[in-house]
Structure 1
């Protein structure tokens, strides 16, 4: 029988928000919707993390809402509040809440569960939104398998966040993986005792010269699951 102390914790993947309605207006200012969404999300993650480090935890959703006009200004819009409205911002934030899961998430979770792993989600977002992503993608996780930084009051990549999750698992015979689309996330988890798995579909470049190596690297979620299972089978064969 497969060990019950095998776990894979996912940072639930997402992509930055953009919309067909906003794209022409952004392009009129020579701003690509994709790079704007990336800048908005990355700025949000930075400020969210800095607030957490300073002891003033603010939910990520509130941080990203506040940074909308600042990001427009940094993108080259001279008068952001004349260019866009709160309704525009709220439309994009609502679109962000309706993102779909990455292709293959159902097969990924099924492969891991068939190999004896329990699947978890660790997120900087709220549990209702994140569980909605998965449910809309045809995947269910028990509520007790979701962990939100909002409930801890500390943001990733603080070691305490990953340690909080590790403490949920018995120490004896533990096989724990952290899977993410951000190298900073997977590498931080790896420093606290997780094995690390990185999917390349968002960042593309590992930047391993600053983040180090990963135990598993994959281009898709199904491939990631297959490689995690193969990694452990190889270790078992060497013992």
Structure 2
């Protein structure tokens, strides 16, 4: 059965989650932040994921923006030495995350091949729409799907259900792409064909399922979608 719909996680997959901290660090007006930003970005992302999992497990949902704010506050306290205005600057920049360089041409190639394209993300609608607009991706995405419509974070199966409900496709007609190994693995367990974009050369997560394919970046996605 050929691939009909290509679905992408947003943060870390299409958009560089470290871009906000990196951009602020490049501003000469923030020299102390320039020294601390890699550690802040690392903790911020880790806590963002952990808080989403814990809330999903406990059944205490909030939107991903609150999770992002909470994770940043933890990171800033853990590292210390950050000026008071830098917190708000980082939050503002999170609505303008850079897309990875290959993203626009990759999505355009999928659309030219007649495939449906979508984001399926933990992000809140406002966050996702801001990132999509900032990166200029509106014309190459058919849908931007947020977990807010079901009130629980990935990897809950009801989140992956959103793809079938939206496009009317069976799981085998869907190619799901994520930079999060656990997300790609859970999507494979759901029945999607999956690609893990492993930019950092990380080991596979020890989970009941594994992604069918692993790629270094997104450039190979149009070819995979056409030949799978």
| Shared fold, TM over 0.5 | yes
Q: What per-residue deviation string (whole Å, max 9, x for no partner) do you get for residues 13-49 of structure 1? A: 3222311258632466xx4x12321211210221122
Indicate the residue corresponding to 1:227 in structure 2: 224
Picking from 124, 138, 156, the partner of 1:126 is 124
Indicate the residue corresponding to 2:60 in structure 1: 56
Indicate the residue corresponding to 1:25 in structure 2: 32
Aligned CA RMSD, in angstroms, stands at 2.8
Indicate the residue corresponding to 1:69 in structure 2: 73
CA contact (8 A) 1:179 1:197 kept: yes
Alpha carbons of structure 1 residues 64 and 208: separation in structure 2 relative to 1, 3 Å: closer
DSSP-derived class of the 2:220 partner: helix
Indicate the residue corresponding to 1:190 in structure 2: 188
Deviant stretches of 4+, over 6 Å: none
Indicate the residue corresponding to 1:10 in structure 2: 8
- Once the two structures are TM-superposed, the CA of residue 116 in structure 1 deviates from its matched residue by 2.9
DSSP-derived class of the 1:198 partner: strand
Indicate the residue corresponding to 1:215 in structure 2: 212
CA contact (8 A) 1:154 1:161 kept: yes
CA contact (8 A) 1:178 1:197 kept: yes
Q: Which aligned pairs between 1:62-211 and structure 2 lie closer than 5 A?
A: 62-75=66-79, 77=80, 83-85=82-84, 87-141=85-139, 145-170=143-168, 174-201=172-199, 203-207=200-204, 209-210=206-207
Gaps of 5+ in 1: 232-239
- Once the two structures are TM-superposed, the CA of residue 9 in structure 1 deviates from its matched residue by 0.8
Indicate the residue corresponding to 1:39 in structure 2: 43
Q: What per-residue deviation string (whole Å, max 9, x for no partner) do you get for residues 39-89 of structure 1? A: 1121022112211221111112112212333223333x3xx7xx542x321
Alpha carbons of structure 1 residues 221 and 171: separation in structure 2 relative to 1, 3 Å: closer
Deviates more, 1:66-75 or 1:203-212: 203-212
TM-score by length of 1: 0.78
CA contact (8 A) 1:131 1:141 kept: no
Task: Report how many residues are paired.
Answer: 219
Please tell me whether Structure 1 or Structure 2 has the larger radius of gyration of its CA atoms.
1
TM-score by length of 2: 0.82
Alpha carbons of structure 1 residues 148 and 108: separation in structure 2 relative to 1, 3 Å: same
Deviates more, 1:131-140 or 1:209-218: 209-218
Q: What per-residue deviation string (whole Å, max 9, x for no partner) do you get for residues 117-145 of structure 1? A: 20011111122332332333332258871
Indicate the residue corresponding to 1:236 in structure 2: none
- Once the two structures are TM-superposed, the CA of residue 179 in structure 1 deviates from its matched residue by 0.7
Alpha carbons of structure 1 residues 46 and 172: separation in structure 2 relative to 1, 3 Å: closer
